[in-house]
Structures are given as C-alpha cells and as structure tokens.
Amino acid sequence: MTDPKLFAARFPGDFVFGVATAAFQIEGATRADGRKPSIWDAFSNMPGRVFNRDNGDVACDHYNRLDDDLDLIKDMGVDAYRFSIAWPRIIPEGTGRINEKGLDFYDRLVDGCKARGIKTYATLYHWDLPLSLMGDGGWTARSTAYAFQRYAKVVMARLGDRLDSVATFNEPWCSVWLSHLHGIHAPGERNMEAALAAMHTTNLAHGLAVEAIRHVTPNVPIGLVLNAHSVIPGSDSAEDKAAAERAFDFNNGAFFGPVFKGEYPASFLDALGDQMPKVEAGDLAIISQKLDWWGLNYYTPMRVAHDPAEGAVYPAAQGAPAIGEGVTDIGWEIYAPAMKSLVEDLYRRYELPDCYVTENGAAYNMELEKGEIDDQPRLDYYVEHLSVVADLISDGYPVKGYFAWSLMDNFEWAEGYRMRFGLVYVNYETQERTVKKSGKWYRELASQFPGGNHKTS
C-alpha cells in the first residue's frame, strides 16, 4: 500500500483535500420542515425508474444526524466539505414562498463546519428540481432560469457570509442529456428538442446565478462543476477520430463552449441548430461571465467509434471497447491516464481558471466482515487517480484541490442503494457508519494538509 505520508509529499502544502456528498443522496427527511417534493421524489416513485424502487425518503438520514456526520467529516481529517443545497427545502414550490426552516438547516450545517475548522464548498443545484416547476416545463422552460437566479440570491443572502466557495450546477451533462435525452435520470424525457431546451435554460440559469451571487456576495469564489468526458477514438481511423471530435462537442462543448467561449460549438449548431430553442440577444454574454474556478468530476473514459447506421443522430458516435484494467462494480472502465489527457485537452481548448477535482471515486460493494471493510480496489483507484492529479500539478496545471466521492455510501440515483461509492460504509437499516480501509488511508493522507513537512510551492 502506498504510504500516505510519502504520497502527501507529491502535493503542495496548501492543496485542499475534501469529501463530497449531495443533498438528495444523503439527507432523507423528504417531507420534514416544509420541504416539498423534487423531480427525484416523483421519479423514484414511478415503477421501473430506480433499481428496487428505492427512494430518498430516508437515505442516510443525514438531516437528523447532522452533528454526528459533521463529526465524522472532521474525523476524516479533511480540510473541506463539498455539499449541495436542496432547492425544495429553500423555496419548496420553486417560486414564491421562502421556507425559513430549510435555510435554518443549512445555517446549522455551515456553522457546524466552521466550528470544526472545515471549509464549506456549496453546490446550488445537484439535480433536485422542485417538482412544482415541472408544471411550467421544468428545465425546458426559460422561466426556470429566472426562478433559479432568485433561489441563488436567497441562499447567498443567508449563507454567503460563511461559504468558502459556491458552484452553480453539478454535472449539467446529467441533468440535460441523461435526464432529457436518454431518460435515465429524472424527469425521464427522451427527446432531443426537450434536451436542447434544457441545455440552454441550464446554461442561462448558470449565468444568471453568477450575476446574482456576485451582486449579493462579491467575495465568494464562484465555479461550475462539469463531468467532462475524456472522449477517446476507438481506433486511428479518420472516421473514428471525427466521431470522437463530434462526441467531444456534444458531451463537453455544449457546456464548456457557452461558458468559457461564449458560443456553442459549430458542429453542434450545424447538426442541431434547427431544433435549438431561441438563443436571445445577450444570453451568451450572461452565460460566459468569468468564473473563479471550475470543478472536474471524473470517473471513467468515454471510448467512441463512428456510428455507420443510416440516419444516425448527431453526434453519430457509438461506444468502443474498453482497454483499461478492469471495471468497477457499476461497470465503469478504470483508466486513470484518461483523466490526465482530458485536463490537458481542456486547457488547450479553453481559457480555464483554477481547477478542483470535485468528484472522483469508485463503486465497490464490499460488505462488513468482522467489523471491517477491506475495499482495497477502491484504495488502489484513489492512489492511481491522485497520482494523475499530482502529475498534473507538477506539469504546471492549476489543480488546487480534490474531493473524494463520496464521504459515505448513499442513494446512487437510478442505481438506488445497490452501488456503494463511500469512504464510509452505511448500514441502511441501522444507519451505523463504519470507515472503510480506503477511508482510513484517505484520512491519513488528508491529515497531512494543510502544511506539513512537504513542499509548499
């Protein structure tokens, strides 16, 4: 096993080590203190959508175990906690009345982190859209962008004085393509026109929220968390390389382009422009306001080949075989080098600010044996991917921190509770938490920061 103290020497002394969670995945208490349903509450209750018809009603019961869980985070030795705020707790209908009890919960969370010396990295949207907004079309409706702007303003007015950082969205790729084109996530749409409308509304909502946050809390660093895809052609053929470039534009460019260049990719517009919603004058200027940082969520590469089928829909790319060293329990290829080439490629294509790895981790479903969880494969995954982060830093890339996904096992969206990503094991019947072997290693590593005896530049 890599000695965490020796491993620490590969990182600057001010590097941020943290853990990450999301509200719907851990909080539970879906009907408590004025919270109204989100699209994920509805989706979970529809047959055939989520494995085993699991839902977020209890999850990790974090809402009722807040102080214990904050003690657990402190015990993990980390410097920072990345969490998300549930819009349905704050403005339960999406618009209209503000729910003070919802804000009170996050007050306690932020104050609890501060009292324990833990930095707070908040995400405003991690997929739990208030269900009421679906009556107006949800993310396909432009009005939702303005509802989000108001929500951002309300949250920052209340919490912004104690937040170390804020992200507008987590992984818009998922809440756009996975949710409106592929039907795998809530609200379960399978429609390109709906997906394109959701894409532009989401991008606009991001920009409007940046405006609101800068107005209310000008000193809080603002970012956007993107699950950028490392798109690798399945062969050296010209067809596969062209397919990979189209897939890049579709999976990455649809978000990076407007935010960091003020434009949608040309190939994207050529193929899909006639199905796009109206991009109004000034939209792209709002979307492309400068950010202080961006977050990378990385788990697995995307390998693609040209799709030769007649009438194949843009990006006309299909999956290509994996070449990595096996897969995790969720079936995702393990291939750490793709994380490095991805970051290099993104900095080559766009003018990007500082980067934080806001999620990285692996699903392995080991159970308790004699009070211990030996999840060596997860530990190996962390070592490999953190080695890549260290290499990027030594190559001069501005990677400033790393958040392990996840602090604890939780509701893994369409996979329900069958996939475990945690550094900490959760017994969902008793809610007992047990730190896994990987969690103990990560604690040793994170405890070396900030400072320590290693390099500080």
Write out the catalytic residue numbers.
171, 359
CA of 6: how far to CAs of 12, 229, 326, 336, 435, in Å?
Answer: 13, 31, 27, 20, 22
In 3D space, the residue among 430, 405, 441, 440 whose CA is nearest the CA of residue 420 turns out to be 405
Please say whether the beta carbons of 451 and 457 come within 8 A. no
How would DSSP label each residue in 348-396?
HHS---EEEEEE------PPPBTTB---HHHHHHHHHHHHHHHHHHHTT
Structure tokens at 26: 């851990």
Give Cα 297 to chain centroid, integer Å.
6
At which residue do the structure tokens 């739990």 appear? 128
Q: What is the 3-state secondary structure (H, E, C) of 384-423?
A: HHHHHHHHHHHCCCCEEEEEEECCECCCCHHHCCCCCCCC
Residues 6 or more apart whose CB falls under 8 angstroms from that of 99 comprise 33, 34, 35, 89, 90, 91, 92
DSSP element (H, E) containing 298? none
